[in-house]
Chains A and B, each alone.
Chain A
């Protein structure tokens, strides 16, 4: 822990002095990302600086910020100058498109719906899986208590909700009343609604709340295998069917054009698709697209059939309006479950 703190202090100090000395060299570009990507971009950014120097002979500086992506989107709408976004939620990029900060067809700008990597919702259970939790079906049992963030305040939790919905959708052949009953029961089993993913991790792994934690598969593996909660011997459960969670990237056109950083910004996002970075992403337990990397890391990921929510439930706009807006199905189910 102390080592981490020292490293972080040194790193931020070097970053600070670095940005001061290079301020005149080149316009820095700003990458806004989600909270838990801190370590990930801590590795990627220096690699890109190196890569860009080799390719163009120029120095580039990356300003990096982390926060919940809805928070980031709000800041950008309110005027924060961000050149590229690397988010964990499509809707938060869409809202920027709606405010004309970036192009409507941003998802076609880069391969794979502009998502260099993806994940899904998986479960984390206690040592020995005492409640024998294998699938979504087990989550609605009376004796199972869940922890996941509030879907209203966390994108991660919206995927958990959608995962349950899509599973029930197949199970009940689209019978909406039955699906609602299933998801409603699942929500009723939630013991604690932290406002974000890390809060949920702390509540589950450290404070002993609940029998199962729902979050991104990448996080589930990081928690189970990371040093912090190693002694708890938590176990990973990947259900047979789950939801496809894409991690979209986009250039914020308005800012990039204004500051003349488009070239670097585009190169930075293209860089995420390179073999080296795709390899690096799998170390953080994200699933990737690069065929060679996929082949090489086959053993790392449990087989799972992923359902793209937009294939079944309509566009993200439609999903948000129907499920997550004020008075939507999520609100109705929470109200009914009280």
Chain B
């Protein structure tokens, strides 16, 4: 009687650990691992020098800078807007609240290229919104950020919202009876509880923005060295029938996302520890 047998014998709600685990791993492999290994297969055809050449081309490097910086700005914006949206949806009751709640998911449903096209039409200098802005948004760097905000907003709202709902108003009321000011309540009661959700939602939004293609290329203007994002560089390499180079750039973005996700796991552990200490 060794421990692993016992492990396989345990019976939670779903029947058969072996079967459920097997099916899960199969799907994970088919849907995620297999395509990723195919990507690496393309890369494996290259020598290290070729790989380095493909990923360090000045134009590609500039595209990393554009992508990462725009993703950072958009993540900051999304955190602010997302927190606010989640807050009004859970804490206030107003006519049309459920409509607002439903609208939040729209960017997930809308084809991103359609979103990009529409945003561009709105934000060009003679567009509905663009005519009121003093600077160029569509077909410029700012447009990339707008597109990224649009496509990644639901991530923050949908991770913060359940936590806010769970939090309930009791803690805030308790704090108020103890004489805390509104700011103090927000800083010491609400924010610490929301931090893990904000970090998770924010990083998901960031990673999504790194890979965003459809919406961004429609509004970016795609001027080399200025408004070209990395996903467009992959597309460009594919158009040159240069599959290995495209895969190489993709592998860089993939690696960055993986590292980020892993760091996030570690960070979340830390945040939970910090929260427990604070209580």
Contacts and interface: CB of A to CB of B under 8 A. Distances in A.
* Shortest beta-carbon contacts, A-B, top 9: A338-B225, A193-B222, A207-B124, A334-B224, A152-B236, A192-B221, A208-B126, A192-B139, A153-B239
B223 A152 contact: no
Nearest to A206: B121
Contacts of B57: 326-327
A222 interface: no
Contacts of A70: 239, 241
Contacts of A24: none
Contacts of B242: 326
A191 B236 contact: no
B173 to A, nearest CB: 52
A181 interface: no
A20 interface: no
A322 to B, nearest CB: 14
A335 to B, nearest CB: 7
A95 interface: yes
A52 interface: no
Contacts of B120: 202-203, 207
A216 B236 CA distance: 21
B243 to A, nearest CB: 9
13 contacts: A150-B236, A152-B236, A153-B235, A192-B223, A193-B222, A193-B224, A195-B232, A202-B117, A202-B120, A202-B121, A207-B127, A334-B59, A337-B224
Contacts of B121: 202, 206-207
Contact of A150 (B139, B222, B226, B238): B222
A209 B224 contact: no
Contacts of A327: 57
Nearest to B237: A326
Contact of B125 (A199, A208, A337): A208
B145 interface: no
Nearest to A147: B139
A324 B242 CA distance: 12
Nearest to A331: B59
B240 A152 contact: yes
Interface residues of B, number: 30
Contacts of A209: 124, 139
Contacts of A150: 222, 236
Interface in A310-333: 324-327, 331
Interface of B: 57-59, 117, 120-121, 124-127, 138-139, 217-218, 221-226, 232, 235-242, 245
Interface in A199-214: 199, 202-203, 206-209
A338 B139 contact: no
Interface centre among B121, B138, B224, B226, by most chain A C-beta atoms within 10 angstroms, is: B224
A251 interface: no
A87 to B, nearest CB: 14
Contacts of B221: 191-193
Contacts, number: 71
A153 B237 CA distance: 9
Nearest to A330: B224
Nearest to B123: A207
A208 B117 CA distance: 14
Contact of B223 (A190, A199, A207, A331): A190
Contacts of B236: 150, 152-153
Interface centre among A191, A207, A324, by most chain B C-beta atoms within 10 angstroms, is: A207
A271 to B, nearest CB: 30
Nearest to B120: A207
Contacts of A199: 117, 218
A208 to B, nearest CB: 5
A95 B57 CA distance: 25
Nearest to A320: B240
Interface string A164-201: 00000000000000000000000000111111000100
Nearest to A325: B240
A338 B124 contact: no
Contacts of A233: none
Nearest to B228: A193
Contacts of A335: 58-59, 224-225
Interface centre among B218, B240, B241, by most chain A C-beta atoms within 10 angstroms, is: B241
Contacts of B245: 326
B266 to A, nearest CB: 38
A74 interface: yes
A229 to B, nearest CB: 14
Nearest to A207: B124
B124 A208 contact: yes
A334 B225 contact: yes
Given A207-B120, A207-B138, A326-B237, A194 B222 contact: yes
B58 to A, nearest CB: 7
A194 B125 CA distance: 17
Nearest to A73: B241
Contacts of A95: 241
A325 B57 CA distance: 13
Contacts of A206: 121
A195 B224 contact: no
B117 to A, nearest CB: 7
Given A203-B139, A326-B240, 4 more contacts: A192-B223, A193-B221, A207-B126, A326-B237
Interface centre among A74, A203, A331, by most chain B C-beta atoms within 10 angstroms, is: A203
Contacts of A203: 120, 139
